[in-house]
Amino acid sequence: MSIPRLLTMLLFVLLMAPVGTAMAQQDDGSGEKLLEQLADASPASTEEALQAIAASGHERARAWLEAYGNNRLSRVKDTGEIVIVLNNRGRDWTVADAVTGENLGEMSRRDLDRIAINNAVRRQLAGVLAMLDLYAEDPEVREEAARDLMGKVDEAVLDPLIGRLDEEPVAAVRNRLEQAVAIYRVEQEGSIEAVDVLAGSLHPRARAALNSAVASENPALKAAAQKALLSVEQKLKMNRAAETLYFGLSLGSVLVLAAIGLAITFGVMGVINMAHGELIMLGAYTTWGMQQLLPGQPGLALILSIPAGFLVAALAGIAIERSVIQFLKGRPLETLLATFGVSLILQQLVRTVISPLNRTVVTPEWMSGSLVINDALSLTLNRMYVLGFALLVFAGLMLIMRRTRLGLEVRAVTQNRAMARSMGIKATRVDIMTFALGSGVAGLAGVALSQLTNVGPNLGQNYIIDSFMVVVFGGVGNLWGTLVAGLTLGTINQLLEPWAGAVLAKIIVLVFIILFIQKRPRGLFPQKGRAAEG
């Protein structure tokens, strides 16, 4: 045998030696012994058996503990082998070897003895599982485990938890562990030092511990707990205010999207378009339709719905302008009645072609869930995306109005239609393009709304009145006014709803706008130019 080949074989043996040792350790029967200890444990020694499994470091330790907690750990009567029940429906159950995880097929449930667990042991098990996760490599997993331990610490877990606290390198995880220990010491020992630890915590279990301490007969403990609760309540008020502001801005962003297209058409053409809500509805139904064309891909369908919703609503707007509105220019009451009839036609068309029932649009995974700020404040991602989308649409419209020829012509026609005509601007073409642009933005509003509510034939009717209020309050035809008015009215409405109710809040907002218009008939940001003078 050549020397290089001999060296290669020696190197292979050296590399494989640790692997062989690990495999031997894994197959040395330790798993069976741990499971048998748990199966044979008395009520008094069950926790010791659970701790032994958690401390073993076995790769299947978590699977055993979770199966035990879910009543899926059983023993075969004939052989004494411990198995995990995978499917417990019917007479025959599908089982797997607990040690190796190998699927053993089906067994009659009469051949199995379930390893019993009670509620007291389940509470112990929850603490053991959390302790198991405290040694995970991912800091987020450790922090979640520490959060789960709050209010679940008992005497058996206390010492290992304190030991882990001294070793934890991440400050956020260490803070959670300190609070978990402090809750136990406040509830069990009446520790004033532990009360100080909980003074800044917003976790419900921490507040419960402080409330129990307030009822204590110890005057010093009671005073400290009252002081801590006062600081907690102040923080909670700030977080509630932040949450209300967030929901108000979210509602306001929806109003901005719904109203900004109306502001353009109303400002340029003087048309009271009561079918604007149905253009929003068409955008929402376009999103639903894209998801039907791309099943199982809600994210891609939503992204494609943005240009599709704009195009569908814009084409519908052009059809409305060419078939109805062009014959009624300069007669706002007639346009109001005519477009109201168009809105009824569009609603009935959707009911006939699609369905009178509401449709649900699936929210993509990346828009689901919440951004957790702290224990008392979380911001839903779908509303955050809608807020950002509204600001992007607004910025896009501002660029169009300020940096393009169409925008220049729109501003010219808005300020003085006759003068714009005399300068060679084709006002009819501007009207068509403006109505298409405003209608397309309404379609974008429908795309956004599909992520917040169900899609139905009456979707647009919920926003048409609010849209007109935003336009009038902000100043007819002024985009900045529409943005400020939409966000302001959304926030005011959200502030009023908790104590006034949804209906009364809208009435109060309407009265406020009426009184405001009495003082400033042209809104927050009135138009400049000859149109404003007229």
Q: What is the pLDDT of residue 35?
A: 84
- Give the H/E segment covering residue 28: none
Q: State yes or no: pLDDT of 232 exceeds 50.
A: yes
Instruction: Mean pLDDT check: name the lowest of 2-16, 23-37, 239-253, 259-273.
Output: 2-16
Q: Where are the domains of the chain?
A: 28-119, 239-364+379-533
Secondary structure of 231-288 in the HEC alphabet? HHHHHHHHHHHHHHHHHHHHHHHHHHHHHHHHHHHHHHHCCCCCCHHHHHHHHHHHHH
Across 52-66, 461-475, 518-532, the highest mean pLDDT is recorded for 461-475
The rounded mean pLDDT for the chain is 83
Q: What is the pLDDT of residues 388-414, one digit of tens each?
A: 999 999 999 999 888 888 888 887 877
- How is residue 397 written in tokens? 């419209």
Q: 531 falls in which pLDDT band (50, 70, 90)? A: very low
Class of domain 28-119: mainly beta
Question: For 39-88, how does the pLDDT look when each residue is reduced to its tens digit (9 = 90+)?
Answer: 888 877 887 888 788 777 677 888 888 888 888 888 888 888 888 888 87
pLDDT score recorded for residue 429: 87
Q: Select from 1.10.150, 1.10.3470, 1.10.357, 2.60.40 the CATH code of 239-364+379-533.
A: 1.10.3470
Query: Phi-psi bin for 477: left (phi > 0), alpha (psi -120 to 50), beta?
Result: left
Kindly list the strands in the beta sheet with 92-97, ordered across the sheet, starting from the edge strand earlier in the chain. 103-108, 92-97, 82-87, 73-76, 112-114
Residue 23 has pLDDT above 50, yes or no: no
Residue 362 is given by DSSP the state P
Residue 126: both structure tokens together: 């929850």
Question: In Å, how far are 292, 458, 511 from 358, measured between CA atoms?
Answer: 15, 9, 32
Instruction: Specify the pLDDT at position 527.
Output: 64
Model pTM? Answer: 0.74
The lowest-confidence range among 38-47, 140-149, 338-347, 481-490 is: 38-47
- For residue 136, how many other CB atoms are within 10 A of its CB? 13
What does the pLDDT average to over 136-141? Answer: 82
